[in-house]
């Protein structure tokens, strides 16, 4: 699709490499799904999300998660104004289109859970009153590897609300050479808005109409049920995983200009959608396995239609 290519080209004026991350963010925007980016500091996670917000023309807010952050710092609070002798609602940064939750695993679980209602229901509750969030509403969170000091595991309930988890690796040597060249000249700051919020909402509507055959829906369910039966997993994917895999496959088909989903679309999106939704057994962790290796086993064994 032309608008997708134009979007990627403009972002690439700022970001070098990291194709998987760029594609995943576009999938998230097209399906209004939340995305979790995990990687070491300095891999352009925050810069990428800020660039997408400007290029797409969405309202954008950034919250730096820290150990002393409070839930009211995110969703807002009911504030008393003594001059007027009345309470008023101070809306937090969550009232936006694109919320960047930077280093989300540096805040304790109570603060992380403040996002749960917003991510699922697209609304927040302040002092017993519910407020709808703008459309689209997408949370794009970054986290450093959980082995680092001062980080907390995200609760399973919150992880399940992220459509995808993308694990970032270092750039290639050629890509880092290009980064060095750009740093000498100065990174681009004059990037243009190439699509509008209305364009994005229209594309989202088109994505929802992408055809997927019943055989492919059953293929998705075969993958999901295989995660629940695998001996190396304590728990497999939730039903939300099958819904998100279907949505992501449709968005992937739209990105390549097709009006129907193929098995390849499902295979390409399976690991990003499911890797954070499966819980490994202690024995599997001790033997050096990770969720990607187990998902590779499952995807190899499940018959493709």
188 falls in which pLDDT band (50, 70, 90)? low
Min mean pLDDT across 102-106, 147-151, 286-290 is at 147-151
Pairing of β 279-280 and β 233-235: antiparallel
Residues 6+ apart with CB under 8 A from 133: 94, 95, 118, 122, 123, 124
Q: State mean pLDDT over 31-59.
A: 81
pLDDT tens, position by position, 248-287: 999 999 988 888 999 999 999 999 999 999 888 888 888 8
Q: Going from the N-terminus, what domains does the chain have, and what CATH number goes with each?
A: 2-69+96-124+132-185 (3.40.50.300), 209-301 (1.10.8.80)
49-52, long-range: CB < 8 A, 24+ apart: 49/25, 49/98, 49/100, 49/140, 49/142, 50/100, 51/11, 51/14, 51/15, 51/191, 52/7, 52/11, 52/25, 52/98
First-residue to last-residue Cα distance in the chain: 26
pLDDT score at 274: 93
Q: State mean pLDDT over 194-211.
A: 86
- Given a cut of 90, whether residue 291 has pLDDT beyond it is no
Q: What percentage of the chain reaches a pLDDT higher than 70? A: 95
pLDDT tens, position by position, 129-187: 788 888 888 888 888 776 666 666 777 777 888 999 988 878 778 878 887 887 777 66
Q: State mean pLDDT over 225-234.
A: 89
CB 126 within 8 A of CB 77: yes
pLDDT score at 1: 64
pLDDT score at 245: 94
Global confidence as pTM: 0.85
pLDDT score at 23: 85
């Amino acid at each position: 699709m032309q608008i997708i290519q134009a979007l990627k080209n403009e972002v690439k004026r700022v970001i070098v490499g990291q194709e998987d991350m760029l594609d995943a963010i576009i999938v998230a925007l097209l399906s209004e799904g939340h995305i979790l980016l995990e990687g070491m500091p300095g891999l352009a996670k925050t810069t990428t999300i800020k660039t997408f917000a400007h290029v797409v023309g969405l309202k954008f807010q950034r919250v730096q998660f820290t150990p002393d952050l409070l839930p009211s710092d995110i969703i807002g609070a009911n504030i008393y104004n003594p001059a007027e002798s009345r309470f008023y609602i101070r809306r937090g940064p969550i009232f936006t289109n694109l919320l960047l939750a930077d280093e989300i695993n540096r805040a304790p679980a109570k603060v992380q859970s403040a996002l749960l209602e917003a991510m699922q229901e697209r609304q927040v509750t302040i002092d017993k009153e519910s407020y709808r969030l703008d459309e689209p509403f997408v949370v794009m969170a970054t986290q450093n590897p959980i082995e680092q000091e001062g980080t907390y595991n995200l609760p399973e309930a919150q992880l399940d609300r992220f459509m995808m988890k993308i694990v970032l690796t270092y750039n290639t040597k050629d890509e880092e050479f290009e980064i060095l060249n750009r740093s000498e000249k100065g990174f681009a700051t004059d990037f243009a808005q190439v699509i509008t919020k209305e364009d994005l909402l229209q594309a989202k509507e088109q994505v929802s109409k992408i055809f997927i055959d019943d055989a492919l829906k059953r293929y998705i369910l075969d993958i999901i049920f295989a995660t629940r039966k695998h001996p190396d997993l304590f728990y497999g994917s939730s039903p939300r995983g099958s819904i998100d895999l279907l949505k992501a496959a449709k968005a992937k088909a739209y990105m390549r200009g097709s009006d129907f989903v193929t098995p390849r679309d499902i295979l390409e999106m399976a690991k990003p959608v499911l890797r954070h939704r499966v819980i490994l057994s202690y024995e599997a962790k001790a033997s050096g396995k990770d969720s990607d290796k187990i998902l590779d086993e499952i995807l190899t064994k499940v018959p493709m239609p």
